[in-house]
Structure 1
Amino acid sequence: MDEENIGFSTVREINCTIHWFQHWNGRQRELFMKDLLAKALPSQVDFLLDAISDMNVRDRPPNIFECQLRLFGQWFEEWSIPARNYFVEKLRSFDPVFISQFDNSVHQCANMQ
């Protein structure tokens, strides 16, 4: 899939998310993994519950990472399947280990169904 078939705005959103990802620490990447799995496997209640429990209700404004995750979620909902696949492949080029873990989790869930 190339960028021309996805759309300029979506490519910008994907590039922005990749930029954020490159600056997230290990814990933030773990939370992003849970969020991404919950989005990729919406029928898996465990991922959704984990994502919700990690987003504790607090008496303070959200931090930058939480805002980034929220914005990513809004973007991801609007992306086409080819755009989502493009995002995963682009992320794979920056962090193949992360995407390998993601692929393994998706595969394990698929085998459980």
Structure 2
Amino acid sequence: MSTSGLTSEAQLRYMLQWFGEFSELQREDFLPILAAARGGQPDQLAATLAALSCQDKPVSLFQCRIKLFNEWYPSWAEEEQDRLIKGVSDMDSDFGEKLQDYLANGPPVNGEFNFLIGENSVHEEENKTENEQLNNGENAEEPADEEQQGISQENIPVEIAAAS
């Protein structure tokens, strides 16, 4: 029995119930937290949790649940951790796919999941095709705005605030 007075089995049941109640935005916020806990990445987990804190605002129910998750999950046996992953993946197959991709490839860049084509990402392939068209004389009078300004959308840092 843990310090909360609940068995790990009861904690697991709570987490699965809460996940079922999470909104789509809350599930997006939970994804990197679960992936960091699952992947044993405490630095990433701490950074993600810091982003969830809101100064001058009362703590939300979601934040309380995440705090409990972070206390409970490390104390669970591997079998219980696996059951949580399976349970949330069964409830939301898209979430399960994103979680597996996150665990395999790391966090998404600028909020997008990178699906690699060889050594180039999908966006790099699209840009390569556009550049080839420009170099072959297609749209020769209309250079791409990003190229004119020397800005690539892939290199613009984007900060996404966590919803609660």
**Fold match (TM-score > 0.5):** yes
Structure 1 runs not aligned, ≥5 long: 1-7
Match for 1:11: what amino acid?
A: E
Query: How many Å separate the matches in 2 of 1:80 and 1:98?
Result: 23
Instruction: Give how far 1:42 is off.
Output: 3.2
Query: How many Å separate the matches in 1 of 2:50 and 2:25?
Result: 14
Aligned to 1:36: 34
Aligned to 2:60: 63
Runs of 4+ in 1 over 6 A off after TM superposition: none
1:46 to 1:11, Cα distance in 2 relative to 1, 3 A: closer
Percent of residue pairs bearing the same amino acid type:
18
Match of 2:10 among 2, 9, 12: 12
Corresponding position: 1:91 with 2:88: yes
The 8 Å contact of residues 31 and 54 in structure 1, kept in 2 or not, is answered as no
Q: How many residues of Structure 1 are paired with residues of Structure 2 in the alignment?
A: 101
Aligned to 1:77: 74
Instruction: Give how far 1:86 is off.
Output: 1.4
Structure 1 length normalisation: TM-score?
A: 0.76
Structure 2 runs not aligned, ≥5 long: 1-5, 107-164
Instruction: Give how far 1:72 is off.
Output: 1.0
Normalized per residue, which structure has more helix? 1
Structure 2 length normalisation: TM-score?
A: 0.55
Q: Secondary structure of 2:7's match?
A: helix
Instruction: Give how far 1:21 is off.
Output: 0.9
Match for 2:53: what amino acid?
A: N
Report the structure number with the largest CA radius of gyration.
Answer: 2
Query: How many Å separate the matches in 2 of 1:44 and 1:107?
Result: 17
Instruction: Give how far 1:65 is off.
Output: 0.5
Instruction: Give how far 1:46 is off.
Output: 5.0
The 8 Å contact of residues 33 and 45 in structure 2, kept in 1 or not, is answered as yes
Instruction: Give how far 1:54 is off.
Output: 2.3
Instruction: Give how far 1:52 is off.
Output: 3.4
Q: Secondary structure of 1:42's match?
A: coil
Please, what is the CA RMSD of the aligned residues? Answer: 2.1
1:12 to 1:66, Cα distance in 2 relative to 1, 3 A: same
